[in-house]
Amino acid sequence: MRLYCPVCDKEYPLETQALFCPESTEDGVHPLIKREDADELSRVFPTILTKRWNDGKLSFSVFREFLASYQLACEHGKGSWWLERVLALSNACERLTGRGFVRTPEICADALAEAIDLPKGTLFVKNETLQLMGSHKSRHLAGAIMHLETLREIEEEQKEKKTLAIFSCGNAAMGAAAVAGAAGYQLYAFVPDHVSDTVVAILTNLGTNVVKVSRDGSVGEGDPCNLRYQEALKKFGWIPFTSYGRDIWSAVEGAETLAYEFIFNQYLADAALDVMVIQVGGGGLANAFISGAQLCLRLGVIRKLPRFYTCQTSSCYPLAQSYFLVLRELGRAGVVTLSPELAMALEGDFDARTLLETNAGQIKMTANLIAEMYPKIKEDIERVFSEIGKKRNEYFKAWSGNVPDSVAEGILDDTTYDGLEVVRGMIESGGLPLIADEEALTKAYDLAVRHTGIDLSATGSAGLAGLRMLVKNNLIQKGERCGLLFTGVGERTCDLPIVKDRVFTLSAGENIKKLIG
C-alpha cells in the first residue's frame, strides 16, 4: 500500500510525514489517497473478514488490512502493537465518555420506507447516533490519531505529541475532543461564537481549548472558524485534526470503516445497495463512504457502486455549484456530450438550484450516460479531474450568497472541502447533487424520528429529504435498495459547568497569539 496524489501522479511511502501532497499550491490542496493492492486484500476476503465480523470485533480490527496505519505498523514489525493500541484507545474513550468505538447497526426501516412510498425491504438506515459522541465524526478522528500514533511509534526517538486543531460547529469538535483526550493530545477547537453552552461545557470538560470565532455577517471568504484555524496551523505549527481528507488524509480511512460495515453487512445479507443518499456539509462523510465503496468494488465485495446522491440545504449548496462547474469542464474537454441547452446554461452565470429545477431531465440523462460510459472514458475523465485538482479553489469556492441558516445547521459549511472527491463519486456512479428546502428538511426529520424512534438531529436526517425528492421524481426504480446514514444525535445535555479557563474568543482582526499567551 502506498499514498498517491492523483493531481501530481506521484506516489509517497506510508512513512511520509506529509498530511497532504507536498506539491500542493495556493490554488488548492492536493489530498493524498491510498493506493492499495487489491490482490493482497483479497487474501482476507471473504473468509477471514467474515470470521472476525462474526466474532464481534471492532471494525478497526476486522478491516485492519484496509487501513494504511496498520499496514505501516506491520512494515515495521508493529502489527501487534497497532491492534493493542486501537483497543486501548477505544477503552480510554469509553472511560472518558462512557462509550468507545462501536459497530453501529443497519436497520431495515420498513415503516419509514412505507411512509415515503418505498416498498418494504428496500430502505436500510445506518444508525451512527450510537457511535462515540453521537456521530460518525469520531471515526474520522480515530483514523487520524492512529496514523499519528503509528508515526510516533516507528520513530527511533519519540518526540512530544504535537498540539492538534480542528474547526467545527459541534459534532466534529466533540468527536475530536474525545479521541484527542483519550490519546493524550492537547486540542484547540475553533467554533462559531453562537455555539451552545452545552457543547462548550462538553468540550472543555474533555480537556479541549475552545476558541469562539465571530462571523461578523461576512460571506464569500469562507468559514471564519476555518480561516482562523488555518492561521493557527501556520503560526503555531499545530497538526490539523479534522474529518476532511483535504487537511489530513488519514481522516478518510477512519470513516471508511462506516462504509465497510454497511457494505459488508449488505453483502452477507445478499442485499447490495443500489442508491445511497448522503447529507453533505464539508464533504468528509461522503468522501469516506464513496472511497470505502470504491475499494469494496475493486475487491469484489460489490459488483457495482450504488448511485451516490448528495443533499445540501437551499440556504447553502456550494457542492451543487461545483458539480456543474466540473460537468462544464468535462463538456468543454469533449469527454462527455452535453445537450446544447445545458451547455449554454453552464457557460453563463448559473444557479445550481435553478438548473436542477429547470433542466432535471437533461441533467439526469447526462449523469446516466456518463456512468454507463465510465469504464471506457475513465482515463479521459481522470485527466480532466487532474487539471481541476491543480486549480481546486477555482472550482470549489466558498458560498457567496446569503449568510447560511437552516434547521440542518451541521451541513452549512461555506466550502465543500472534500468536494472534488465527492463529485468524482457522483460522476462515476450516475448520482446527482440534491438541494432540499427547509420544509423538506423539517418533514424528513419528523418522519425519521416518528418511524424509526432514533434520537437524531435534523442534520443527521437530511439525507432522507434528498431520498424523498428522488422518490417523488420517480428516480428510484422498482425494487432498488436505498441506503441512508443517520449521523447526529438529537438534544445533548451536560451537567458539568463550563471550564472558563479553556474558553477563548477571537473577533475579526484580533491577534491570534492571545491563544498561547
Spatial distance between the Cα atoms of 33 and 37, rounded to a whole number of angstroms: 13
Query: Which residue shows C-alpha cell 472558563?
Result: 500
Query: Which of 293, 318, 312 lies closest to 304, judged by CA?
Result: 293
Q: Confirm if 452 and 125 have CB atoms less than 8 A apart.
A: yes
From the number of C-beta atoms within 10 Å of its C-beta (0-12, 13-18, 19+), residue 382 rates as: middle
**107-133 per-position pLDDT tens digit:** 999 999 999 999 999 999 999 999 999
Q: Confirm if 284 and 175 have CB atoms less than 8 A apart.
A: no
Spatial distance between the Cα atoms of 27 and 513, rounded to a whole number of angstroms: 27
Give me the pLDDT at residue 404, please.
84
Average pLDDT over residues 338-358: 93
**417-433 per-position pLDDT tens digit:** 999 999 999 999 999 99
Give me the pLDDT at residue 39, please.
83
Please say if the pLDDT value at position 233 is more than 80: yes
Q: Confirm if 420 and 389 have CB atoms less than 8 A apart.
A: yes
Q: Confirm if 257 and 60 have CB atoms less than 8 A apart.
A: yes
Give the domain 272-480 fold: Rossmann fold (3.40.50)
Cell of 331: 463538456
Q: By three-state DSSP, how is residue 125 classified?
A: strand
Q: Which residues contact 202 (CB under 8 A, 6 or more apart)?
A: 174, 177, 492, 494
Q: Confirm if 72 and 34 have CB atoms less than 8 A apart.
A: no
**299-317 per-position pLDDT tens digit:** 999 999 999 999 999 999 9
Q: Confirm if 207 and 181 have CB atoms less than 8 A apart.
A: yes
Spatial distance between the Cα atoms of 392 and 29, rounded to a whole number of angstroms: 7
Cell of 451: 418511524
Q: Report the mean per-residue pLDDT for the chain.
A: 95
Strand arrangement of the beta sheet that strand 33-35 belongs to: 10-12, 2-5, 33-35
Range from 153-162, 176-185, 441-450 carrying the lowest mean pLDDT: 153-162
Spatial distance between the Cα atoms of 227 and 233, rounded to a whole number of angstroms: 10
Give me the pLDDT at residue 157, please.
79
Spatial distance between the Cα atoms of 211 and 240, rounded to a whole number of angstroms: 15
Query: Which of 418, 173, 171 lies closest to 283, judged by CA?
Result: 418
Q: By three-state DSSP, how is residue 296 classified?
A: helix
| Consecutive H or E run containing 116 | none
Query: Which of 153, 170, 174, 161 lies closest to 96, judged by CA?
Result: 174
Q: Is 184 left (phi over 0), alpha (psi -120 to 50) or beta?
A: left
Average pLDDT over residues 214-233: 82
Give me the pLDDT at residue 220, please.
60
DSSP state of 240: E
Cell of 212: 469562539
Half-sphere exposure of 506 (CA within 13 A, CB side): 27
Cell of 357: 429545477
- Using CA of residue 244, residue 277, residue 488, residue 122, what is the dihedral sign? negative
Please say if the pLDDT value at position 217 is more than 70: no
The larger pLDDT score, comparing residue 385 to residue 215, is at: 385
- Residue ranges of alpha helices (H) inside 162-316 are 171-183, 197-205, 224-236, 250-268, 284-299
Give me the pLDDT at residue 159, please.
79
- Residue ranges of alpha helices (H) inside 98-205 are 110-115, 137-154, 171-183, 197-205
The CA-CA-CA angle for residues 396, 228, 14, to 5°, reads 65
CA-CA-CA-CA dihedral for 79, 84, 89, 95, to nearest 10 = 170
Range from 30-44, 174-188, 415-429, 454-468 carrying the lowest mean pLDDT: 30-44
pTM of the predicted model over 0.95: yes
Query: Which of 316, 360, 351, 253 lies closest to 34, judged by CA?
Result: 253
User: DSSP for 306-327?
Assistant: PEEEEEEETTB-HHHHHHHHHH
Half-sphere exposure of 79 (CA within 13 A, CB side): 8
Cell of 132: 462515540
Residue type, 227: L
Strand pairing category for 275-279 and 307-313: parallel
